[in-house]
Structure 1
């Protein structure tokens, strides 16, 4: 069918329906279409393992320590973290992969694979969501010729038209978090300006945080701030490693940057990925040139590691991502900033 639908419903089916981009049987998973920080370098998993150990220490080394990976892909991050942990932590660890796709073959049996988050308040430890919220579908709105913000409707072939005016809770969210497109607030916006209404992401993140009884919840993603919202939105598609026009037919990823400031709770801390990874020991500095004379193989290895670390922390690339840290309980406050 090729009916007109709001972007949120259309993207939900295209990404997570029976034959969705992320859920179709036998698909390559996210790594077959784009690289996240997890796929760039093992440094990323090592950094998450370091953060997990800090959480463990802050919580007093509980008998069961949870690591919940939300939007786990094919389990690459959890696999890397497990490999980076000492036995004393690993034996107490309860790792959970939250992912709508089927469990991949060959995954460590220690990892529990779930389609939904565990029950609220049921776990103690670290919840980590890498590039998850940008795939939580949202409504897209656009100012019409008279400057009235209207919902953007789309068909499965990617054709768009404007629907009804934005009202209710979506209008209230725009007024608070994307004021240049707020209905009835000040001068009317210029025709063609667009926004993504992030209410579903705010709710999804709040639910994820509530999974923890105590610990730390972290999300890392493409992000923007209230004072610097992109005037034409950020909705786009990815297929086979290339950015493409967003088409909700199940054949491409559909992603939009995240208003992390709207998601943040009152105790949240925000960092760039560059700041966060530096605090966790990821350093992209080149090895000393003298090492090339004394240990040429070691020099080449260290140079490659430095290059991968530099890519993860590049402020014009992955290093510019936003990290949102939500402590649950006072023990895990300031683990990257103290």
Structure 2
């Protein structure tokens, strides 16, 4: 999975980028960027409006979200913003010069660290529950053929026992081992000196883990078998409570974990249809409001993008000061 996604010819390193293959919240609508800007403004206020406000986008794609934040921010805020895209692919030729492009998360962030659909692409091992216990799943990257390998490591077995306990009679059930994602998120949170680390991703919680896991592939807008040959995105939903716990140990502060539907509505996204009376008074305004409502509805649909989970982990600031109500 590591080579298929991030190797020399990996899916995220070469080619046209994620937007050419699947639709994320960032690509779906400017409404998402507008809400993220409001989140950034709350962090800015909680920090006392510092002279430099970092906004670091981990897994930035081609910088779409940072471009939108720069274009939508008020002049006073835009002048203080220090946007950083963290991505392994080459810097896009048309990226605004104000946006830094780095392969690694910078140290000492004062502001907002964003990880929008990043953790689901942090590589995982897949385990199969057998009568003899957990066994790792091996996949031939050329043929997609699956075989059972050795038992997971002691660290992985400990993680599975706590975070993904199998149904006693469910032989053949699969799990995606999230210990590597816990480390990745804890490392990201550790880069924040003061501010908020925010992860937005498809996820699940301990009491409702999917019996067969969630590993899948995407290519050209279609769901495909997750063959790790570099031709498709290989992704799995995130054990969000596990990564939250790992981040909490670093941040030493309470966190917030809510659905995207709840988070975006608190930040002003309204999927309600505008009143019909507006159509007669201001037809063009009605059409704009209708388009915005449609976009917000897609972002907050609990069966789709609204099913994402938002994990906010504040560092050195109060949780209540950075969570919109």
TM bucket (normalised to shorter chain) is over 0.9
- Residue deviations 1:112-144 (CA, integer Å, cap 9, x gap): 00011112xx12000011000000000000023
**3-state SS, counterpart of residue 213 of structure 1:** strand
CA–CA distance in 2 between the matches of 1:199 and 1:102?
A: 29
Q: Contact 2:85–2:100 at 8 Å: present in 1 too?
A: yes
The equivalent of 1:6 in structure 2 is: none
The equivalent of 2:139 in structure 1 is: 154
**Count of residues in Structure 1 that have an aligned counterpart in Structure 2:** 317
CA–CA distance in 1 between the matches of 2:117 and 2:148?
A: 29
Q: Contact 2:46–2:317 at 8 Å: present in 1 too?
A: no
Which of 229, 237, 241 in structure 2 is aligned with 1:249? 229
The equivalent of 1:18 in structure 2 is: 8
Alignment of 1:283 onto 2:283: no
The equivalent of 2:192 in structure 1 is: 212
The equivalent of 1:268 in structure 2 is: 255
CA–CA distance in 1 between the matches of 2:287 and 2:134?
A: 55
Gapped regions of structure 2 (runs ≥ 5):
249-253
Tell me the C-alpha RMSD between the 2 structures. Answer: 1.2
CA–CA distance in 2 between the matches of 1:123 and 1:135?
A: 23
Larger mean CA deviation between 147-156 and 44-53 belongs to 147-156
Which of 93, 96, 112 in structure 1 is aligned with 2:100? 112
Which of 330, 333, 337 in structure 1 is aligned with 2:317? 330
How far is the alpha carbon of 1:332 from its aligned partner?
Answer: 4.8
Q: Contact 1:21–1:250 at 8 Å: present in 2 too?
A: yes
CA–CA distance in 1 between the matches of 2:164 and 2:308?
A: 20
**3-state SS, counterpart of residue 152 of structure 1:** strand
> 1:333 and 1:215, CA in 2 relative to 1: closer, same or farther beyond 3 A?
farther
**3-state SS, counterpart of residue 9 of structure 2:** coil
The equivalent of 1:85 in structure 2 is: 73
How far is the alpha carbon of 1:82 from its aligned partner?
Answer: 0.8
CA–CA distance in 2 between the matches of 1:110 and 1:332?
A: 30
The equivalent of 1:4 in structure 2 is: none
> 1:191 and 1:332, CA in 2 relative to 1: closer, same or farther beyond 3 A?
closer
TM-score, structure 1 as length reference? 0.91
Alignment of 1:71 onto 2:56: no
Q: Contact 2:216–2:226 at 8 Å: present in 1 too?
A: yes
Q: Contact 1:59–1:331 at 8 Å: present in 2 too?
A: no
TM-score, structure 2 as length reference? 0.95
Alignment of 1:124 onto 2:124: no
* Structure 1 outlier segments of 4+, above 4 Å: none
The equivalent of 2:125 in structure 1 is: 139
- Residue deviations 1:228-284 (CA, integer Å, cap 9, x gap): 000000000000000011011100000000001001134211010011101111111
How far is the alpha carbon of 1:331 from its aligned partner?
Answer: 3.6
> 1:281 and 1:241, CA in 2 relative to 1: closer, same or farther beyond 3 A?
same
The equivalent of 1:175 in structure 2 is: 161
How far is the alpha carbon of 1:334 from its aligned partner?
Answer: 4.7
Gapped regions of structure 1 (runs ≥ 5):
1-10, 182-186
Larger mean CA deviation between 155-164 and 67-76 belongs to 155-164
CA–CA distance in 2 between the matches of 1:86 and 1:297?
A: 25
> 1:87 and 1:332, CA in 2 relative to 1: closer, same or farther beyond 3 A?
farther
CA–CA distance in 2 between the matches of 1:244 and 1:234?
A: 13
